Amino acid sequence: MSSSLDIVEVGGLIAYQPDNHVLFRYLASCVDRILRGEKPGEIPILQAAAFKLGINLKTAQALGLVIPPSFLARADLVIE
């Protein structure tokens, strides 16, 4: 299991990662706020709320694993 969907694309079994687009947008807004004079300690910490799930079925098959259809339905990325 990995925390990067890139690993699933190159043969990893499963990845579960935060949605980086949301996190990078928040990071950019934090930098903007700091450059405008806000103290870093006053900026609230963001906890990731959106995640992406990736599954590589080719790797699962090679390992002899059966991935349930209900789990596959929740995946954002499925490599066949």
Q: Could you read off the pLDDT tens digit of each residue along the chain, which spans 80 residues?
A: 899 999 999 999 999 999 888 899 999 999 999 999 999 999 999 888 889 999 999 999 999 999 999 999 999 999 98
Q: What is the β-pairing status of strands 77-79 and 14-18?
A: unpaired
DSSP string, 28-61: HHHHHHHHTT--GGGSPPPPP--EEEEEEHHHHH
Structural domain containing residue 29 = 5-79
pTM surpassing 0.85?
no
What pLDDT sits at residue 20?
87
The total number of structural domains that make up the chain = 1
Given this model, what pLDDT does residue 48 score? Answer: 87
* DSSP annotation string for 4-26: -HHHHHTT-SEEEEE-HHHHHHH
